[in-house]
């Protein structure tokens, strides 16, 4: 079988890049394929449960961050070599006195199956994801509006079934 190759390069805002990385992360969190497309080019891959993860940061005249997932289709997974911490430092994001300042946004996106979903993001952290895909952005917007109405008064309940 011949190797297939897909590459995408473009100048994008930090927010656009973060949205793309979150969409990849959401698909990676499942157990199905991840489909990448740009124009008329499309490729789908199904990562194993434990692919090799590589993060490379290079700082010189050019600054570069590379994120790679790698696996051999027929090889045994390699063992883990330890953890990775990604720190966020935002000195401008100080809470008001006596109160925690929280900013967030609902992000709408189309998943690999063509369904619309949302995620609630604050300071680069996904706080909540939609549990299922919807046929249209408008359906997702209605769900978000209902959450906005219900959430301020919603009780916290523990699941007693387990």
pLDDT digits (tens, 9 = 90+) for 138-159: 888 888 888 888 887 778 888 7
Q: Which residues contact 50 (CB under 8 A, 6 or more apart)?
A: 77, 78, 80
Q: Do 77 and 71 touch, CB atoms closer than 8 A?
A: yes
Domain assignment present for residue 81? The answer is no
pLDDT, position 58: 92
Total domain count, the chain: 1
Domain assignment present for residue 83? The answer is no
Domain assignment present for residue 4? The answer is no
Domain assignment present for residue 96? The answer is no
Q: Is 129 exposed, middle or buried (0-12, 13-18, 19+ CB in 10 A)?
A: middle
pLDDT digits (tens, 9 = 90+) for 62-93: 999 999 998 887 766 656 555 555 555 444 44
Domain assignment present for residue 37? The answer is yes
Domain hosting 125: range is: 14-74+103-152
Domain assignment present for residue 89? The answer is no
pTM: 0.49
DSSP-assigned letter for residue 150: H
- pLDDT band at 110; cut points 50, 70, 90: confident
Domain assignment present for residue 45? The answer is yes
Domain assignment present for residue 138? The answer is yes
Query: What number of CA atoms fall less than 13 Å from residue 23's CA on the CB side?
Result: 21
């Amino acid at each position: 079988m011949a190797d297939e190759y897909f590459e995408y390069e473009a100048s994008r805002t930090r927010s656009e890049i973060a949205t793309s990385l979150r969409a990849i992360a959401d698909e990676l969190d499942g157990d199905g394929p991840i489909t990448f497309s740009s124009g008329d080019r499309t490729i789908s891959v199904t990562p194993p449960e434990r692919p090799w993860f590589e993060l490379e940061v290079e700082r010189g005249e050019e600054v570069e961050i590379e994120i790679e997932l790698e696996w051999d289709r027929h090889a045994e997974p390699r063992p883990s070599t330890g953890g990775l911490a990604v720190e966020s430092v935002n000195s401008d994001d100080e809470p008001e006195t006596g109160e925690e300042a929280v900013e967030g946004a609902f992000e709408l996106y189309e998943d690999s199956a063509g369904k619309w979903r949302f995620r609630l993001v604050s300071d680069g952290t996904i706080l909540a994801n939609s549990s299922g895909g919807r046929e249209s952005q408008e359906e997702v917007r209605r769900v978000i509006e209902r959450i906005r109405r219900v959430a301020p008064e919603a009780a916290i309940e523990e699941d007693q079934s387990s």
